[in-house]
Structure 1
């Protein structure tokens, strides 16, 4: 059991770092995309949709699917589940704020619907991931003290 606890702690710490990095890269890819109609743009869009879906699944389910069941259960304890719920709430509010901002900005610089949607989704997912990673890292720091 101690081995599972150690594995869960290492995997949880790694997950916290990975979700923060994923949030940063996900936002950075938004700047590199366009709404043109070339084949490469369609491939890029499909990749973005798949990546966003995968990030949401990790956020909602906790990840760690390649870990043994006992380790996954330890990685998704009550503190982690609470951190996940809090981060999903942050993601929701960031998405709503971003939607309101794009609504106002659209008046002066019109967006295509797909572009506005991508901005809202990207910032909502990234905020939730970042907040989850921050909360998890904080929980591990408190555990170490």
Structure 2
């Protein structure tokens, strides 16, 4: 592996750590701001729903693979070392627990206010993925710092 692969992997790993946290926060914030607009699927809402699906799939792919799929095999191997794989597993576990807690809150909330299944699924998936992304970014930054 060339020295440039090491430098490229280090740069991409640092960027991924920062972006995972920022994107997780932005994802949850934007979805929270748009919760009320999901009732009817007019053209703008349909575009928003499609965008949510695309972002959701992108986050799932990042958490499942560690990203860097368009990079060379050497750079991907350097980016997804043992520490990163452990960080991803811890982040996915955090997302799982967040999903369970959010689902429980949604269930309890239905005793007071009806919740559409699509809304509940969107809230559960958004909080779980957003939380997992934030956790992954935090763990990666901690690993890179020390």
- TM class by smaller structure: over 0.9
Which residue of structure 1 aligns with residue 130 of structure 2? 126
Structure 2 matches for 1:42-81, cutoff 5 A?
Answer: 42-81=46-85
Note the alpha carbon deviations across 1:32-61, whole angstroms, 9 max, x for none: 242222121112111111110111101111
1:83-127: CA deviation from partner (whole Å, max 9, x where unpaired): 001110000000000000111112112211111110000000011
C-alpha distance in 2 between matches for 1:77 and 1:37: 43
Superposed CA deviations along residues 6-55 of structure 1, whole A, max 9, x for unmatched, are 21111001001111111011112212242222121112111111110111
Q: Which stretch has the larger CA shift, 103-112 or 126-135?
A: 103-112
1:19 corresponding residue in structure 2: 20
**Using the alignment, how far apart are the partners of 1:65 and 1:17 within structure 2?**
18
Q: Which aligned segments of 4 or more residues in structure 1 are displaced greater than 3 angstroms?
A: none
The residue correspondences of 1:4-15 to structure 2 (distance < 5 A) are 4-15=5-16
Moved more, 110-119 or 32-41: 32-41
Residue of structure 1 equivalent to 2:94: 90
What is the TM-score when the length of structure 2 is the normalising length?
Answer: 0.92
Is 1:110 paired with 2:111?
Answer: no
The reply to whether residue 32 of structure 1 matches residue 34 of structure 2 is yes
Offset of 1:3 from its aligned partner?
2.1
Number of residue pairs matched? 142
Aligned CA-pair RMSD: 1.1
